[in-house]
Structure 1
Amino acid sequence: MARREVEINLDKFLNALQALGHDIGEVVKTNVKDILDDWQRQAVDLAPIDTSTLRRSIHGKVIKRGTGLVDVTGEMRASAIERDSGHGRYDYAYLIHEIKGDSFRGRVSGTIGRFLDVPAEQNYKKWLKQIENDIKAKARGQGF
């Protein structure tokens, strides 16, 4: 009886796959930073501008969650502490965004109450597509 053995070494493939995972993590982090920059620009343009304190307070932050390579998220925040003789200290950003929201009518045309939410809602699909395209490009560039 004839017999033949075949040995397949997958080390090179597995190393390439592991490297791709790391590179994809970097692609995602870069994209999240770019998204936060875009989101911040749009939110600043939509936020009320009475004293510009609110607009200056709008900032994004990349947050690493978990231990995975792509466990990354981004958040946008705004906080503008004001003082009022009748109410004491309060967060103007919270009041405008969360309490007044869609009912807010600013003195400057084009400003809205939900200045953080609206850009995210309008761009969500575009941002996800960009991440997807960049991951595909990275994988193709490495032969996958």
Structure 2
Amino acid sequence: MTKPFIGVSGNILRDTSGAYVDLLRSYVNQDYPRSIEEAGGIPVIIPFTKNLDVARETVAKLDALLLSGGHDVSPLNYGEEPLQGLGDVFPERDQFDFALLKAAEEKQIPIFCICRGIQILNVYRG
């Protein structure tokens, strides 16, 4: 039996100390790929990109998608203004995740969501 390739939406981390200050890194928390491996899948980290065609083409090669956690979802995506207490937002990541969702739904593959991921899914579906 072939193991499924499960894409994990990536995020950006900016180094704030050491020799690599301000270097941007693509990442996911290690629990995501480890859990996918333990469940019998092959994790594929999908690095954040502003090129949404690349994001969609990546999903075309996958058997399932996992939207990872991260920043708060921008309330502007659902017609609301930011309120006090809102955490950091990353509107470009919102658009990246929307593109991943659209591609996964068009391909009709399973979508798994963690924390921010389920919020993005709810906003995406309205």
TM-score, normalized by the shorter chain, greater than 0.5: no
Bigger Rg over Cα: 1
Give the structure, 1 or 2, with the largest relative contact order (CA under 8 Å, sep 6 or more): 2
Give the TM-score taking structure 1 as reference length.
0.28
Select the structure that is richer in helix.
1
Give the TM-score taking structure 2 as reference length.
0.30
